[in-house]
Structure 1
Amino acid sequence: MNPVRLIMVLVAAVSAIGLAVVLKRALGGEPAAPVARAAPVAEPARSMTQVLVAKRDLPIGTRLVAADVAWQAWPSGAVNGAFITNGAAPDGKVEAAKATLAATADQMAGVDPAKVVDGAIVRDPILTGEPITARKIVRGGEGGYLSVVLTPGKRAMSVPVTSDTAVGGFILPGDRVDVVSTRDAPAVPDSVAAGKVIIAETVLQNIRVLALDQSAVAEKDAKSIVAATATLEVGPVEAETLARAKAYGPVTLALRAYTDLGGPSGVTGPAGGDSTVRINRGGATTSVAVRP
């Protein structure tokens, strides 16, 4: 072969190889081996605790029932020691909750919500979805109970009672009564014989009984309570009238029918006129003034 031609063939071959190498580098070189992707790591399941929450807005004075509250799943790490839980809170929070909620510690084991709130009344407003705490509810017998159950603008006032002046003990908290005042008065001038005159008048009507002694709620199935004091719900003017009646003499509570709940309540209006009943026993005449 002609040497010149041989050299030209070799140069062309080298050039072709060089061009191939340049093109290969320009196009990215060898295809990279596929990288194996790690399988996604599943997130650990979040620990949840059942927390007692309000199902609706609860204003002050609301007497809680089962329909007002419900158990709701709550992240265990966010459970406050004051929440009422089903007892599954981690890190010792259950013990803290039981210490804070001593009044409900025996009712926190995931029982029916109706049992947890039985007899409770809202002391501070609770919003929908807000956890129920002991600070915002109160039960009968606990401090602050009467101030919560009082109707706005009303007062609580106690009067001494006996079995005779409280219908033999059949008056219970929540009943409605009339307050009858009795007192001595001068004898009627035209009476046949001078005698003792007793005036009896109803000074208050349809008054709500808040408590008997320190019991604001009658025990289950209780039919009577023999107490030494009865606490009544009265307005400012009614409180003054009751104080005067107590100063005059003993007062008697007259139990009203349950159907009288919506009747007139408060200080009785002026009577159309007094009438006197004279009772003669054994030669002694006693005049009793009564009002219709």
Structure 2
Amino acid sequence: MRMVYGLVLLVGVALAGVAVYMAQGYIAQAQSERDALLAAQARAPELVRVVVVKRALKYGERFSQADLEVIGVQAGKTPEGIFNAISVPMGTDPAFATVFYDGETRPRAALRSFEAYEPLLASKITAPGVDAGIMANLAPNMRAFTINVDIASGVSGFLRPGDLVDVYWYGQSGQREVTKLIEANLRLIAIDQSADADRSEETKIARTVTAEVSPSQVASLTLAQATGRLTLSLVGNNDTMEVGAIEVDRNSLLGISEEEAVAVEAAKVCTIRSRKAGELVLVEIPCTN
């Protein structure tokens, strides 16, 4: 009987030892996993709150708070103009960018198309209660000015809202025919009646383009359009060159010096034909061109 008790005691001690060993192993494994998780968290990049759209939006489509969601994005890997919150109370620190303030019920509208879960950008949406269009695209204190174009002056229909263009004027300056750069890097905000920068229809020739200009530029462009012909030149996305003043007349285009031009004008003889007593007579007259 004593042997049975002793055997049971021995088995119990052995099982207890095994249990202690297994518990120590489990604790050690748990501590190792905890340490690895803490190390991974320490190495993980900092995340910032970014507001995204939950569904695809087309140009001009309205959206409200229900169409938005907040996700975490790695700090330093976000585009300029993101929002950090969908809605916050009035008086919140302006550095904390929000799409709406509490109590705002007016929707905003998209100034370009968005894919689902694409970050919402301040420059690509209107203010609350404002629909997409020219008014929404104008910067503060700027004006919209429309320029008539055709296939040649309008860059063959390749212009889009948001493009930058240089404007050249061609006309008479005194007795000279002149082409001159009058405005550089004007931002287009509409093509014909469309302000949609994402329009995807095939290229078509525009009849008008609308540019964002200052009040003084409105005056100069109005005079230029009334007294000559305007031609647009598309500025490349990577263009950084300062073009400065550009003016070309016929003499400089052909490489004729001023002295040569004066000599040619002086040597020019203009005549008209007339009949006198039945004979053809050439009569010299002042040259007008």
> TM-score per shorter chain, which class?
0.3 to 0.5
Higher Rg: 1
TM-score normalised according to structure 2 size: 0.45
Q: Higher RCO, 1 or 2 (CA under 8 Å, sep at least 6)? A: 1
TM-score normalised according to structure 1 size: 0.44
